[in-house]
Homo-oligomer: A and B are copies of this chain.
């Protein structure tokens, strides 16, 4: 039998992973990886952290842990596969099973034969077609060179006013990085919230307060229509549909597009990315694809829609699946949940699964709640408040999605939720997992379990609650009475800015029910709505039919509050 020839196009994440794994499984295979760029196998996700100053040598992103550069030679010597950098794939001949490649240095074109072809062509930052996008001091943030030059120019030119175009994950990371570089930062986002497509608006609102507290100016719901330049061809302002913002530095991060041209031209099925099966095979079984060039589907196929969510974690998993399948071992890639997370100053912000917006669009019969509270027992110094939003299917109580925002340890809870989504678990399952409990890490009932309990209670009609947004709407209409069940000291320090608030501490509530109006809707609240929930139960038991507690308590309130002036 002749030697198996595997050709891999793309050398950043999925490509090298496929090649390395394949050589371990099939040492005799002839594995060649080509990459258009001169750099390969770099940690693009680390770029904002270089800009931030988390590490000072950008080589950290292109070198191994012990400092060896991950060059073509490195891979050839340690992993045993061949690498051609600065080599571009021009076309695939599926009949002849060859790929025509061109050396960017010599211009020479060659036909490389393959038995199995792997497309790991990645994605590209979307370049919005607006005037001025090619001006100087306008950066995209997808390559180490971008981060290196940005830092160099901030120092060299003394750049001061940055505008982030786009409030997605990279936008958030870059905003923080530039704040740490002592720049003024304005973030412009077309949607009327940060992280559109990632978070629901209520959760985004809570994160937005934290960004603003950290001096990020948010300009939401405005579209960037152009960039203005100075005489030297450098950007000097960002124009939106409503204002002009001075800027000597612009970072554009408005999404990634799959590099699927090669696949399209070869007649492979594509739809917002290359379509693949569970083995990461394209519509041509001898051609595999993985990483940012493919479109994914939801785990468990709960949702029929494809999901384009380019991430290094997914790219690596797909590389493994591809290598295994080529080597004769089937380890299907099960899909993704759209899990994503970002650190935003002291907050962890992320989600897994469906948001409420998505569930609504998909016509799913869902129920949702927002829970707020500390991530550890309140007596521990490291205890931090955060919000969890959870959605479940009304029909089978399966967990549909979880969002976290706040200073609490949100990734741990996201990962447990992602596990539950993976396995198709219900609210009851999620609450029953035997999670690791000790005071330095979590309270006896973990917040993710509490959130599942609250949602479970809501679905069973035991807990009746409304979000802070619904409450605010009702307050704006003035057709609701708020019942503050906190202690007198708490009420004195902090009040809801609303006229119709009745204050009865929870401990006195059972004896003072006659002070409550019988003919008006009542919304109970406290700090985090543990007592608010108890109050709702007491009122419901006492025959009050229209009573709710406010989800998350006043800690989750993203609007104005009246603080006691000292």
Contact = CB atoms under 8 A, between A and B. Distances in A.
Interface of A: 13, 23-25, 27-28, 43, 45-46, 49-50, 54-55, 60-61, 65-68, 74, 77-80, 169, 173, 299, 311-317, 320, 329, 331, 333-343, 348, 350, 352, 374, 377-381, 409, 411-412, 414-416, 418-423, 425, 428-429, 431-442, 444-446, 449, 453, 460, 462, 486-487, 490, 506-508, 510, 527-528, 531, 534, 537-538, 541
Contacts of A77: 506-508, 510
Contacts of A55: 379-381
Contacts of A428: 331
Given A411-B412, A416-B415, A487-B66, A436 B340 contact: yes
Name the residue in A314, A334, A432, A541 with the highest tally of chain B Cβ atoms < 10 Å from its Cβ: A432
A434 B352 contact: yes
B440 A299 contact: no
A339 B435 contact: yes
Contact of A423 (B49, B374, B380, B429): B429
B507 A379 contact: no
Closest 8 CB pairs of A and B: A27-B541, A419-B419, A60-B379, A423-B423, A341-B436, A312-B444, A313-B437, A77-B507
Contacts of A432: 317, 333-334, 422
Given A27-B541, A313-B444, A378-B60, A80 B435 contact: no
A381 B444 CA distance: 30
B438 A418 contact: no
Contacts of A411: 412, 436, 441-442
A232 B439 CA distance: 37
A315 B437 CA distance: 12
A54 B381 contact: yes
Given A77-B510, A436-B339, A24 B415 contact: no
Contact of A412 (B23, B78, B320, B415): B415
10 contacts: A45-B377, A313-B434, A334-B432, A336-B434, A339-B437, A340-B438, A341-B436, A414-B435, A420-B423, A423-B425
A147 to B, nearest CB: 12
B531 A78 contact: yes
B436 A350 contact: yes
Residue from the set A23, A331, A378 with the largest chain B CB neighbour count within 10 Å: A378
A423 B65 CA distance: 35
Contacts of A531: 78
Contacts of A65: 374, 378, 527-528
A437 B341 contact: yes
Given A317-B432, A433-B422, A537-B24, A440 B379 contact: no
